[in-house]
Amino acid sequence: MSEIQIQIHVNGKPASGLAEPRTHLADFLREDLLLTGTHVGCEQGVCGACTVFVDGRPTRSCITFAVACAGAEIRTVEGFEDDPLMSQIRRAFRRHHGLQCGYCTPGMLTTAYDIVRRIPNADETRIRRELSGNLCRCTGYAGIVAAIREVLKNDPPVARIQPKMRSRREAETGAIPVVRNDYSPSSDSGSGLPSLESLSDTAHLTRSLELDTSVDEAWAVLADPKLIVACVPGAGLIAPIDGSRIEGQLVIAMGPVRAIFRGIGSLTLDESGRTGRLLGRGRDRLSRTSLEGVLDFALSEVGPENSTLTLDMRYRLAGPLSQFGRPELVTEIADRILVDVTRAIESSARGELIDVETPVTLNLFALLFASLRAIVARVLRRG
């Protein structure tokens, strides 16, 4: 198989090498760059031993292709040598016997760093849940959990100052987190967007949201891509926003694995009619699942402090994750997500502060579980 030259940044320094398309990041780091601190256990994304940061996010390097990381900022366990927060974590692991054979330790340290940085109020239950994607065969986890609790209790200064590790690109371009958009345009129109005709025979979903906010306030949120994206769980913008063109991503967690749909869209707004259309297409490169669709929305006044948002969506899901795209399931999941979206739009319209920089991940397994339970309950009731 032919090899591809890739350029990445590892632990703050540029690195390059040849990799076959199927070479995993873990192998590339260990065998080409000789960074053997990244361990490989299960090689199927389950044990967490291979966890490294890719563009500031913990990532399983055994199921990430090296070529897919071209241009990315990678941080392995070796890259934390002078990091004050990691020093605290390492000391705490030593004090609480958070390691024995050490095989899981690089992944544990990286995950612990992420927990401390991201969830400063995490209690024991939350720490254990966050660690559930990292397996340890020796310690029984008690020492690891105690070490993380101790670091959190000491209110680590770095965690407060640096709630989100930023990649080089993010730091250079300012406020909106910048991520790579690996989506390659391919469409009839050449714009990368699907045509409306190609979506005419796709799955269809309509919904109506009652908003406790005036039509003007709600429109102010809908017309601002940054605000509306912040209202959708898992969604984030990729800068820059250029005219009506939007580049964005949707992060969906499925247990320890994350699907990241990155793609492009066009947003057109009719201010006078208070209507809009979002047309888009995206792809998760790990699962090779693609999603394309069009969302038409219309806002209408119900009273001085109430409005209705009507959504009409056509979409097509193709690839391994399309098994979750059955209309009944999608409707159930959409209804659950839309409850949060409604609340977020209302909060944003009232001028309450919403975090546009740190999107929460959409937890598909939790949604699926709740949705399937609701569907089964309905079927049983009908029976």
Q: Which stretch binds ligand FES (CB under 6 A): 46-54, 74-82, 113-121, 178-186?
A: 46-54
Instruction: Name, in order, each residue with C-beta under 8 angstroms of 107's C-beta and a sequence gap of 6 or more.
Output: 39, 47, 48, 49, 50, 51, 134
3-state secondary structure 282-346: EEECCCCEEEEEEEEEEEEEEECCEEEEEEEEEEEEECHHHHHHCHHHHHHHHHHHHHHHHHHHH
Cβ distance to ligand FES smaller for residue 100 or 306? 100
Encoding tokens for residue 225?
A: 């891509």
Min CB(301)–ligand FES separation in Å: 52
Min CB(63)–ligand FES separation in Å: 6
How far is residue 293's CA from residue 268's CA, in Å, rounded to a whole number?
14
DSSP-assigned letters across all residues of 140-187: -SHHHHHHHHHHHHT--HHHHH-SS---HHHHHH-SSPP----PPP-S
53, β-bridge pairs: 58, 75
241, β-bridge pairs: none
Convert 281-298 to b/e letters by CB count within 10 Å (16 or more is b). bbbbbbbebbbbbbbebb
- Letter for the amino acid at 200? S
Rule CB under 6 A: say whether 42 interacts with ligand FES: yes
Q: Which of 6, 10, 47, 299 binds ligand FES (CB under 6 A)?
A: 47
Q: Which of 137, 164, 204, 350 binds ligand FES (CB under 6 A)?
A: 137
Let me know: does 188 contact 292? Beta carbons within 8 Å. no
Site for ligand FES in 80-109 (CB under 6 A): 99-105
Cβ distance to ligand FES smaller for residue 60 or 180? 60
Q: Which of 48, 143, 233, 280 binds ligand FES (CB under 6 A)?
A: 48
Q: Which stretch binds ligand FES (CB under 6 A): 47-55, 150-158, 186-194, 232-240?
A: 47-55
Cβ distance to ligand FES smaller for residue 104 or 294? 104
Q: Which stretch binds ligand FES (CB under 6 A): 35-43, 80-88, 231-239, 349-357?
A: 35-43
Cβ distance to ligand FES smaller for residue 99 or 115? 99
Instruction: For residue 19, report the phi and psi dihedrals to the nearest 5 degrees.
Output: -140, 140
Instruction: Name, in order, each residue with C-beta under 8 angstroms of 3's C-beta and a sequence gap of 6 or more.
Output: 18, 19, 20
Min CB(70)–ligand FES separation in Å: 20
Cβ distance to ligand FES smaller for residue 89 or 309? 89
Q: Which stretch binds ligand FES (CB under 6 A): 1-9, 43-51, 205-213, 375-383?
A: 43-51
Instruction: Name, in order, each residue with C-beta under 8 angstroms of 27's C-beta and a sequence gap of 6 or more.
Output: 40, 66
Among residues 330, 334, 332, 297, which one has the least CA distance to residue 316? 330
175, β-bridge pairs: none
Rule CB under 6 A: say whether 40 interacts with ligand FES: yes
Min CB(51)–ligand FES separation in Å: 7
Q: Show the site string, 327-366: x = touches ligand FES by CB under 6 A, - = not.
A: ----------------------------------------
Q: Which stretch binds ligand FES (CB under 6 A): 137-145, 151-159, 220-228, 334-342?
A: 137-145
Cβ distance to ligand FES smaller for residue 101 or 161? 101
Q: Which stretch binds ligand FES (CB under 6 A): 136-144, 193-201, 334-342, 360-368?
A: 136-144
Using CB under 6 A, list all residues that contact ligand FES. Answer: 40-43, 45-50, 60, 62, 99-105, 136-139
